[in-house]
Amino acid sequence: MPVETVPFGTFPRALWEQLGGFDESLEVNEDFDFNYRARRSGAEVILDRRIVATYVARSTIAALARQYVRYGFWKLRMLRKDPRAIRLRQLPPALLVLWVAVTMAAALASPGLVTVAVAALYPLVVAAGGAHIALTRSVHPLAAMAALATVHLAWSVGFWRGLMARGTNRTTTTLSMVAAVLMLMPGLAQAPKPESKITYVLPYYPLYSSVSDAEFAADVVDMRQRLGEGPYVRVGFNRYIFGSMDRWDVNPADRAAIRANSSSTIAQIDQVVDRARLNGIPVSVSMLTAIRERYDPFQTGAEREDRRNTQWYSNGDMAPGWITLSRYARKMQGRYEAYVREAGATLANRMARYPSTLVAASGDGEVELSFDRSPQFSTNYTLETMQLTDYSPFAIAEFRDWLRNAGLYAPGQPYAGQGYVNAARYQGDSSPSVDTNGDGRTLNGDFGTAFTSWQLRHFDWSLSDGTDVDPGAIPGFVYDRPDFVAMPGTDARRFDAPRTRQPGQAWWVVWDRFRQEMVWHYNLDFARWITTTADPETGQTVPRDRWYSHQVPADYLFGFSPDNPDTRYLTSASPHWSADISPYGGLGITAFNVNVGGGNFARTLATVMPHIAQRNVRWAILEWNPSLPVSNTLDVYEQEMALIERHRPALVVPWAWGDPFYQVQNSPFETALRAMIARMKDGPVRSTPAVPTSGTLMRPPTSGDRLRTPFPPLPSRDAVLDRDRAVSVGRVQGRRPR
């Protein structure tokens, strides 16, 4: 737990050297002074109650008195050094000797009910405190009272001895005390805690788990020397946690079973935190679950049991490795939530125990709908033939209920109030063609559809169906049969989503909006599960100001826009606002720029930043590189640094430390980053830096094949992550979670 100070503390060498160690001019309170300076620099002092030390107290009252006279004397010296170091609880003891002397003298000089009662107040407090100590710690009451009075009075005597000592400027010291009292009084202006203003610069380090301890320590020193840091900017590393849910058929209410089958995830978290603690650096972790392109046992089992748990393309084909994001996949959602909540409890525990080490976390990484059947990722498709998701029967049913405030979106249900903005128009209508609620609106009338039933055209099912044993389930062995028909419905009057992309057509627009909100809802739910799950050991949850989403802002990717969209935006349904997970965390994005040559760059951050700024939320960049491939000039890097300084994300993750293509070291990226940190590290920048806009922003094409990103092929980001995952998971095999 975070505290002000601890006795016999241990400190990271880097922090010790940064702050200059103990102040040797202080004979007493040098540890409190160091801990105070550490906290002012943004670090945290942690008391771990599991660590046990044996302390031999003074054996006599006289020895105890001498000890506390010294404590009080040197506390005064600390107060002179920095008045802010005194605590409100220390002011009454400082005045105690005066109180006792004055009240006793008054009682003797003028005995009476009031004067005697006032004089007896402190002895009564000591008696009550001594009795409590005697009852709880098996100490004789008289010994406890004597020790308590000695501690109080001796400390106060020492404090006043320090004030009256020869060579002490009493006026200066008295003014320091007054200043300290004023700063401690509630309601008066007080400087904000430095830690609330810290920007963390934590490069993603693919070799985090693979290098030796000695190599890692050397890399930490090298990184700090290259980048620099200070009270308002701290540097460390970022690490991915490749979440693995190791069993599908698990009872979500059985926390022990969920935890046992999360052992790989927990072990990865511990490996990251342990290595960071040993080297005295802050670290952030980015969670990637197996929701896209890869499998874990959970996803394999979910897909095998019911193919509806997977995203479907518009022609009824399954998108292998991409789970549906629909909330209506209730059985899968329940089990998935239990696994995510367990990860949240683990993160909460480690953040509570090591708050200056594990400073932030994000997830789930780059949530989107399948892009596999698009021209960007497959030469088999063109803009006209590409296929989008998600047409799983779960997603179609959710779309229907989202449109009309029905099912799980109905009043009183879990997602009430989260439906379509105009859902009240169709709420209660008996069919898409009938205006049952009498508002003059029908679904067919507004969108030009011809439905006569809310039943699904393909694979109709109901929320009244069972979840554990679902009569509408489509097992893998059924779906994979040669005679299986993926789109069996022949009645076009029954409800369905539009299967052909028609930009600007009302029915397509509202379906596309639902696809985007499905991605957003996934991020909201994930963040809510993470930040509202209390760790049983500490009782803490993941602080909401330390959790971020981790999204591709596809609507403004590489300088494109919703009006001139990139193909990734059309397929992924991942606009920048799908990353806004308020109130459960901060908005996190990835931001890469492409160097297309000739001094032109397709820029993401510069394009999306004005829209993020309008949201006025805490935010972070979880993957960031201003030029791919690397530029030989500083221009684009300095422009990105100006954006960072102006809009101040709480966390930035340069991508990727030590990678030969996604280059940070020995490049203009490092030079510009180091200069930015030097400007920011000692406090808020006094003036808002100007953001250059001269001709380095490449405008995307607006005709012909305008929706296909016109950039040269780049080394796969996922290839870097796949190598990282192989090492990370391999390193933790066999480790048991703590």
Q: In what order do the strands lie in the sheet with 237-242?
A: 237-242, 283-288, 358-362, 547-548
Q: Tokens 């994930």 map to which residue? A: 526
- Residue 315 Cα distances to 303, 485, 487, 707, angstroms: 18, 10, 7, 22
Separation between Cα atoms, residue 588 and residue 67, nearest integer Å: 52
CA quadruple 162, 167, 171, 175: dihedral, nearest 10: -50
CA quadruple 153, 157, 160, 165: dihedral, nearest 10: -170
Instruction: State which H helix or E strand residue 516 sits in.
Output: helix 506-531
**Largest interatomic CA distance in the chain:** 108
User: Could you give the residue ranges of the DSSP H alpha helices within 210-262?
Assistant: 213-227, 255-260
Task: Give the count of alpha carbons within 13 A of 592, CB side only.
Answer: 21
Reported for 605-609, long-range contacts at CB under 8 A and 24+ positions apart, including other chains, are 605/640, 605/643, 606/559, 606/639, 606/640, 606/643, 606/691, 606/697, 607/556, 607/558, 607/559, 607/560, 607/561, 607/697, 608/553, 608/555, 608/556, 608/576, 609/643, 609/647
Tokens of 604: 């993401």
C-alpha angle 275-277-283 in degrees, rounded to nearest 5: 80
**CA dihedral over 208, 214, 219, 224, signed as positive or negative:** positive
Which residue(s) pair with 547 in the sheet?
361
| Backbone dihedral region for residue 118 (phi beyond 0: left; psi -120 to 50: alpha; all else: beta) | alpha
- Crossing angle of helices 213-227 and 263-279, rounded to 10°: 60
- Residue 293 Cα distances to 299, 485, 722, angstroms: 11, 24, 11
**CA dihedral over 678, 682, 686, 689, signed as positive or negative:** positive
Residues 197-235 as b or e (16 or more Cβ within 10 Å = b): bbbbbbbbbbbbbbbeeeebbebbeebbebbbbbbbbbb
Which residues of the chain are under the pLDDT cut of 70?
A: 1-2, 18, 25, 40-43, 49, 74, 76-97, 99, 118-119, 122, 138, 155, 163-196, 293, 684-738
Q: Supply the DSSP string of 316-378, one letter for each residue.
A: S-EEEEEE---TT-HHHHHHHHHHHHHHHHHHHHHHHH-TTTEEEEE-STT-----TTSTTT-
What's the confidence (pLDDT) of residue 91?
Answer: 61
CB distance 612 to 637 below 8 Å: no
Query: Cα 423 to chain center, whole Å?
Result: 33
Tokens of 583: 């109130």
Q: Supply the DSSP string of 394-439, one letter for each residue.
A: HHHHHHHHHHHT-GGGSTTSTTTT-S-TTGGGTTT-SBTTB-TT-S
Q: Residue 482: is the preceding peptide bond cis (ω within 30°)? A: no
Separation between Cα atoms, residue 736 and residue 738, nearest integer Å: 6
Separation between Cα atoms, residue 285 and residue 265, nearest integer Å: 12
**CA dihedral over 662, 666, 667, 670, signed as positive or negative:** positive
C-alpha angle 92-96-97 in degrees, rounded to nearest 5: 155
- Residue 184 Cα distances to 165, 190, 193, 394, angstroms: 26, 8, 14, 57
CB distance 517 to 367 below 8 Å: no
Where, residue-wise, is CATH 3.20.20.80 in the chain?
199-293+326-373+520-708
C-alpha angle 283-647-205 in degrees, rounded to nearest 5: 25
- Residue 200 Cα distances to 228, 607, 645, angstroms: 12, 23, 13
Separation between Cα atoms, residue 102 and residue 90, nearest integer Å: 20
- Crossing angle of helices 141-164 and 170-184, rounded to 10°: 120
Q: Which amino acid is at 423?
A: A
pLDDT in tens, 502-534: 999 999 999 999 999 999 999 999 999 999 999
CB distance 408 to 463 below 8 Å: yes
CB distance 486 to 316 below 8 Å: yes
CB distance 277 to 233 below 8 Å: no
Tokens of 723: 């190598």
Separation between Cα atoms, residue 36 and residue 444, nearest integer Å: 67
What's the confidence (pLDDT) of residue 404?
Answer: 97
CB distance 76 to 159 below 8 Å: yes
- Residue 64, classed as helix, strand or coil, is helix
Three-state SS across 306-330?
A: CHHHEEEECCCCEEEEEECCCCCCH
Task: Give the count of alpha carbons within 13 A of 164, CB side only.
Answer: 6
Instruction: State which H helix or E strand residue 624 sits in.
Output: strand 619-628
What's the confidence (pLDDT) of residue 690?
Answer: 57
551 DSSP assignment: B
Nearest alpha carbon to residue 326 among 466, 463, 494, 481: 463
19 DSSP assignment: H
Tokens of 229: 């840091």
Architecture label for domain 199-293+326-373+520-708: Alpha-Beta Barrel (3.20)
User: Distance from first CA to last CA of the chain, Å, rounded?
Assistant: 17
Separation between Cα atoms, residue 703 and residue 320, nearest integer Å: 33
What's the confidence (pLDDT) of residue 94?
Answer: 64
Separation between Cα atoms, residue 2 and residue 594, nearest integer Å: 43
